[in-house]
Amino acid sequence: MTSGLDQDSFPRQYARTVRYTVGAPRSFAVAGTKVVFLRSRSGSDRANMLWTLDTVSGKERIAADPAVLLHGGAEELSAAEQARRERSRETSAGIVGFALDDAGRQAVFALSGRLFVTDLDKRATSELRVPGPLVDPRLSPDGAYVAYATVDGELRVIGTDGSGDAALGRPEHPGVVWGQAEFIAQEEMGRSRGYWWSPDSDRLLAERSDDTPVRRWWIADPANPERRPAEVAYPAAGTPNADVDLWLFDLAGSRTEITWDKAEFPYLAHVHWSIGGPPLLLVQARDQRSQRVLTVDIDSGATDVVLEESDDTWLDLFPGVPAWTPGGDVVRISDATGVRCLVVGDRALTGPELHVRSVVATTESTVYFTASGGVEETGPRPGWVGVARIGLDGSGFEWVSTTDGVSTAVVGDGITVVSTARVDRPGTQVRVLESGATIASHAEQPILVARPQFRFAGARRIPSAVFLPSDYDGSALLPVLMDPYGGPHGQRVAAAHNPHLTSQWFADQGFAVVVADGRGTPGRSPEWEKSIAFDFAGATLDDQVEALHALAEEFPLDLGRVGIRGWSYGGYLAALAVLRRPDVFHVGVAGAPVTDWSLYDTHYTERYLGMPDSKVYPANSLIDYAPELERPLLLIHGLADDNVVVAHTLRLSSALLAAGRPYSVLPLSGVTHMASQEDIAENLLKLQVDFIKKGLG
């Protein structure tokens, strides 16, 4: 069954455009009457340029072009920069990040490990000659200096006129890095930064990390045996993390250590420094059931406890908080009442009608934040996310964006830039709320139209989306393909178009495709997310089965022919499904699956499963269930994956072989966890369809 479209071209287009993100505007910042952003020239060009939009005239201009700055040459990325991009899931080229001064007159960015400063009004860019390669340059608020980190582990500062380049922090021995977030902060805490300017531009807070205690793993390239294996400091569950300290520097190089109870609270989860008050730190206990918000005395380095929080299950981290209001109150997001609400000072500003997800900005009188419906019936469909604002006194709540889609925003200098994706149109629309100006997208139009049908499925009202072939005539039951992520941090059911294109493509190959966000996935409630504690294998799999059976009462699902596919946690769930529930699932494709949770990292795994012991980890891993395999299973894994290392698939493979169970393995040479290479991404879709069709007969 086909849709009449040239289906063979969708995998190529999808891979070439990196899921239709190439050419779309991104990374917005507000500077005076300008919006600064990144975008490439077209939907087939991955190299981002720096652009400005004049919000008054609506005119866009190129501020910096990497092709000009590199004189047409190719980019050269250091291993450290490649690793940073892997942690942030960055697949673009050219300018992938920038920082502004407070006045918005200048922007700074790294390109091929070199340092560039752009005068945004003159649209003139100059290179500052510095030791490199470098990463993460940031302007001081007054625009007089640039701080940057080097791949050698130094933190340095230079004047924007090119004078006075000097090192503030130098590694004392191998393993020490200044001014960069350690692996676990980048991968699991959502903290990509390792240093922060003071509002007065005269000091910096800087992280010093030492990964000497972290166990070393070696990732080889079997296809090129002449190459040395890559050394990776990987903090697996139950093993030591990097030692993380925080220091305060002045521009002359003197430094003061910031002190807190690191033995009890070793994780530095968040740092905030603004005119609202002294630096704020969020530090967590290793078990993530307690945390403290601290203020820093910038003269002595001592810290005081502003707030201490605890939770019997775990405490989540949220984008944008904690932070100061300009008046000196702490803004945070709290689950203490069983509802995820916005709190300013001691007052909750939102209630059970909302599920708060992040804080976007805080002005003199208002907090901007993103939220979903806390009560299911308040949302027009599952998967919507809106941008709202509310007064610091709890008055004047209003939606900034429509709630009929998925929206984010950037706010500054009285300007609100709202990005909204909707189901009824491809891509994302970006507009300036105050002036109505829009930022154009150069992304390609997909050749498919995604047609999700949203439901709350079963007794648990599991957020779900169902896809039928575009030309389905209703004459027969359809084989089913479950297409989940199904785990923490991975919401797949979204009220948007482009996230569902691969599911629609699979449907157009003759399947009824089901995407279900069961317990553990975000956006519903704290109880929903935390109900998977110590029980990945039970709750997440049970909810896939419940959603499938409930949806079969309404849709033409052939429960005698059910396949399942997924990547990362979704790969774990796909393998788990055919191992544990062969009565329901008849074929599985598991991409980059976690098969042994003792091989995954500390902050993630210990949050959900605790420290490794003799019961919880084996019960939630796949190795011991290998003898139970009786359905076709395809394991896919990138050999260069340093997040879910290939040892996961190899251990399951060995266990299956030892048990005499037939299975298939597809190793991907030189491929990381993102599997972003164009030919790989294209052909993986086709291979999965072929395997699933054969497995279902």
278-311 pLDDT per residue, tens: 999 999 999 999 999 999 999 999 999 999 999 9
Residue 597 structure tokens: 């949770």
DSSP states of 239-283: SPPPEEEEEEEETTS-EEEE---TTT--EEEEEEEETTEEEEEEE
Residue 166 has pLDDT above 90, yes or no: yes
Task: Indicate the pLDDT class of residue 378, thresholds 50, 70 and 90.
Answer: very low
pLDDT of residue 661: 97
| Crossing angle between the packed helical segments 569-580 and 541-551, to the nearest 10 degrees | 70
Q: Per residue in 195-249, pLDDT tens?
A: 999 999 999 999 999 999 999 999 998 988 999 999 999 999 999 999 999 999 9
pLDDT of residue 681: 79
The whole-number average pLDDT for the span 502-517 is 97
For domain 453-695, give the fold: Rossmann fold (3.40.50)
pLDDT of residue 375: 63
Q: Per residue in 511-542, pLDDT tens?
A: 999 999 999 999 999 999 999 999 999 999 99
Closest by CA position to 274, among listed 246, 296, 306, 300:
296
Closest by CA position to 69, among listed 107, 21, 32:
107
Strands of the sheet with 277-284, listed across from one edge: 267-274, 277-284, 290-296, 303-310
Judge whether 667 and 680 are in contact, CB under 8 Å.
no
DSSP lists the bridge partners of residue 328 as none
Minimum mean pLDDT among 44-48, 163-167, 569-573: which range? 44-48
Judge whether 271 and 280 are in contact, CB under 8 Å.
yes
pLDDT of residue 2: 38
Q: Per residue in 312-351, pLDDT tens?
A: 999 999 999 999 999 999 999 999 999 999 999 999 999 9
Residue 88 has pLDDT above 90, yes or no: no
The Cα 416–Cα 40 span in angstroms is 23
pLDDT of residue 253: 87
pTM: predicted TM-score of the whole model, two decimal places: 0.94
Q: What is the DSSP letter of 68?
A: H
pLDDT of residue 420: 97
The whole-number average pLDDT for the span 258-268 is 98
How much is the mean pLDDT over the chain?
94
pLDDT of residue 9: 80
Residue 1 has pLDDT above 70, yes or no: no
Residue 376 has pLDDT above 60, yes or no: no
Residue 4 has pLDDT above 60, yes or no: no
The Cα 199–Cα 324 span in angstroms is 13
Closest by CA position to 576, among listed 606, 552, 600, 545:
545
The Cα 322–Cα 557 span in angstroms is 46
pLDDT of residue 5: 39
In the chain, domain spans: 453-695
Which helix (H) or strand (E) segment is 61 a member of? Answer: strand 60-64
The Cα 250–Cα 239 span in angstroms is 35
Map tokens 């390109």 to a residue: 111
Residue 178 has pLDDT above 50, yes or no: yes
DSSP lists the bridge partners of residue 303 as 296
Residue 442: strand, helix, or coil: coil
The residues, any chain, with a CB within 8 Å of residue 8's CB and separated by 6 or more, are none
Q: Per residue in 51-67, pLDDT tens?
A: 999 999 999 999 999 99
Q: Per residue in 624-683, pLDDT tens?
A: 999 999 999 999 999 999 999 999 999 999 999 999 999 999 999 988 887 777 788 788
pLDDT of residue 7: 42
Residue 3 has pLDDT above 80, yes or no: no
Give the distance, in angstroms, between the CA of residue 516 and the centroid of all CA atoms in the same chain.
20
The Cα 642–Cα 183 span in angstroms is 11
pLDDT of residue 239: 98
Judge whether 59 and 438 are in contact, CB under 8 Å.
no
The Cα 267–Cα 476 span in angstroms is 55
Q: How many CB atoms lie within 10 A of CB 358?
A: 19
Helix-strand-coil split of the chain, %, nearest 5? 20, 35, 45
The whole-number average pLDDT for the span 584-594 is 98
The 3 state secondary structure assigned to 627-672 is: HHCCCCEEEEEECCCCCCCCHHHHHHHHHHHHCCCCCEEEEECCCC
Task: Indicate the pLDDT class of residue 6, thresholds 50, 70 and 90.
Answer: very low
pLDDT of residue 670: 87
Closest by CA position to 12, among listed 1, 24, 4, 20:
20
How far apart, in Å, are the Cα atoms of 686 and each of 15, 124, 498, 679, 689? 12, 46, 19, 11, 5
**Strands 155-159 and 145-150, sheet pairing:** antiparallel
Residue 347 structure tokens: 């007052």
Which helix (H) or strand (E) segment is 678 a member of? Answer: helix 678-695
The residues, any chain, with a CB within 8 Å of residue 609's CB and separated by 6 or more, are 237, 534, 536, 597, 616, 617, 620
Kindly state the percentage of the chain with pLDDT values over 90: 87
The Cα 150–Cα 156 span in angstroms is 8
The whole-number average pLDDT for the span 388-413 is 93
pLDDT of residue 87: 62
**Strands 203-210 and 195-197, sheet pairing:** antiparallel
**What's at 440, amino acid-wise?**
A
**Strands 203-210 and 216-219, sheet pairing:** unpaired
Residue 507 structure tokens: 């449907």
The whole-number average pLDDT for the span 576-602 is 98
85 against 238, higher pLDDT: 238
